[in-house]
Amino acid sequence: MVVTRCFNYNPINKILTELKSLLKEWKQYEYLSLFSYNHLNFTNANLSRAYGLIKTYKLNPLRIIVSSVGSPRYNLAKFLLEILTIIRT
C-alpha cells in the first residue's frame, strides 16, 4: 500500500532559504570554513522520504523509516554528528 501526500506549496524552498541563512551567519562568525560552507550549502534537494516496513510478529506491525538522503539537512546532520562525536570522546 502506497500513501502519497500532496502539498499545495513546495516546502523545499523554505527549508533551503532557512539553511542558507543559517550557513551564512555561521560563515560570517567564522564557525565554518569556506570548504565546510560549500559542502553544506545545497542548490537542489529532495524532500525526506518516509515509508513503512511491515513487522508481522509485533503488536504494532508497521515500523516507520525516514530517509533523509538527498535532503537539504542531510549534510548538516552528518557535520553536526562528527562534531558531537569528537566532543563526546
Does residue 53 lie in a domain region?
A: yes
Domain span at 27: 11-88
**Confidence band of 62 (pLDDT split at 50, 70, 90):** confident
Q: Is residue 2 part of a domain?
A: no
Number of structural domains found in the chain: 1
Whether the predicted pLDDT of 2 surpasses 70: no
Q: Which residue has the cell 553536526?
A: 80
> How far is 68 from 45, CA to CA, in rounded Å?
10
Residue linked to cell 502506497: 2
For the chain, give the mean pLDDT: 85
In whole angstroms, give the CA distance from residue 63 to residue 32.
Answer: 37
Q: Is residue 79 packed enough to be buried (19+ CB in 10 Å), middle (13-18) or exposed (0-12)?
A: middle
Most confident of 4-8, 30-34, 51-55, 71-75: 30-34
